[in-house]
Amino acid sequence: MKNSAPTFVIIGKPNNGKSSMISALTFNDMVEVSKRVGTTVVKSSYSYIRDNKIVCSFYDTPGFESAKDIYRYIKEYSSQNYTNYKLLQTYIREHKNEESRLKDIEILEAVLESDYIIFMVNISEKFNKNSIGAELEIINFIKKPTLVLFNQKSDENHEKEWEEALVKHNLHLFHKINPLEMNFTNIMTLYTKLNSIASSENREFLESLKQTHNRHIQENIEVSSKIIANMIKKVLHFEKEYKVKKEKITSDDKEKALHAYQEEIYKIERDAKEKIAHVWGYYQLNIKDTREEFDSQENIELGLSRKRLMLLGIATGAGTAATLTAPTSMFDMGLTTAISSTVGGTLGGVGAYILGEKFHRVVISKKKILYSVDKKAFNVTIVLLKRALEYLYRLIKHGHANRTDIIIPKKEDELKFNAEWNFSKDDVKNIIKIHKYIVKDEDTRKYENELSELIQKLVDNEVIKI
């Protein structure tokens, strides 16, 4: 190898998923991907970077346009005193300035500069020797470790036919994969496959690459968990003062104040989720959470029900009835008030999705309304945790090559972390303990760290392994 960072070239027919594959392998959703044939016209280099170091690089290439001419050239001159590398270098030099050979020259340059070849084929199409035979002969001539990836782009599947044809062309390593569904496990499998045909030197680099991927996902989980824990702390500590010019405060004023408070809460959540998306390498992803479609009558029960509380052995006596009442909607968990009794008016869509009125404590004084989280309503933390886990689950499952929107569904039965999904008994007790100390602002840093560690465990067990 030329340096410590292995280089892969991905080749194949146009629109077979080469750019999508690189997007997945570099954890980067900014690689240009298109359904249009021929989007990639010159080779482009992308790197997988960790700790400000290039771990490995990938060449994205256009499709061959004159593969048969290249193969004829190889057959004509291969009997002379040329090494394989030197012969292709000579071809590149002779045809470098021909516009009609631009794409082929770009591919050959990338192949010669790379340590591995990843050849992508669409197994939904039948194997056609006339169409692809020359490309296979060129790969054979180059004699570099080659992995053929089978991308099935429709319901048709000619996998067996492709396997038989590839073996006849001395290509024995193939692997079926969908670039749009690539995750860390798929990527580890891919590198393990390559390891089986790599030189001893290259195997060391591949093992190092796999270890880097493992560290990458663990670091992402750790950072994401800290972001979520910090977001929950901010929500629990957040207060919103709403000033009223009139002498008498009306129910309409209270509703506006609540709505303003909830918008700030939503911003705290939204900002945290944006940070998490960037941690995982998503910069262009559009996430639709349908929050505006909810109203106060169409909510989802994400908190702990009275039945669940009883099963966990958590008391629901008169002293805590307001906090532990089974939810009748997504966020109806009980209301504690200081001076005021209830919040008037019907909540609209935004308010209902963010945090329902019974999560809050409201203090009303002359010309001022102050909202904060009900200190006893630990279901606030339960709901925020479930929403964060749902977000991470959909983010990680989505994949960097998939450019469709992520949609957080509206229907409860379409959610992974819905009312039917429950934290363990020990986790619930830990969440309640952490909630109590954070809202009291006692040893906040310590309990924020405890919450982060708990989230990290939950992500490991309930998100990554799904």
Average pLDDT over residues 122-131: 94
Averaged pLDDT, 316-322? 34
Instruction: List the single range of 278-282, 411-415, 423-427, 444-448 with lowest mean pLDDT.
Output: 411-415
Backbone torsion region of residue 17, taken as left when φ is above 0, otherwise alpha when ψ lies between -120 and 50, otherwise beta: left
Answer whether 33's CB lies under 8 Å from 22's CB.
Answer: no
Provide the pLDDT for residue 385. Answer: 94
More confident residue, 346 or 264: 264
- Which residue's entry shows tokens 């934290």? 423
Beta-bridge mates of residue 45: 59
Distance separating alpha carbons of residues 161 and 157, to the nearest angstrom: 9
Does position 297 have pLDDT exceeding 60, yes or no? no
pLDDT reading at 286 higher than 70:
yes
- DSSP letter for each residue of 145-206: -EEEEEE--SS---HHHHHHHHHHTT---EEE--GGG--HHHHHHHHHHHHTTS-HHHHHHH
> Which of 254, 258, 440, 255 has its CA nearest to residue 365?
254
Alpha-carbon distance 69 to 445, whole Å? 67
Summarised one tens digit per residue, pLDDT across range 198-223 is: 777 778 888 888 888 888 889 999 99
Specify the higher pLDDT residue, 108 or 198. Answer: 108
pLDDT at res. 309 = 65
Q: For 337-380, how does the pLDDT look when each residue is reduced to its tens digit (9 = 90+)?
A: 222 222 222 222 333 334 545 567 888 888 899 988 888 888 88
Comparing 456 with 290, the larger pLDDT belongs to 456
**pLDDT at 157 > cutoff 80:** yes
For the stretch 230-242, pLDDT in tens is 999 999 999 999 9
Task: Provide CATH 3.40.50.300 ranges for the chain.
Answer: 7-198
CATH class assigned to 7-198 = alpha beta
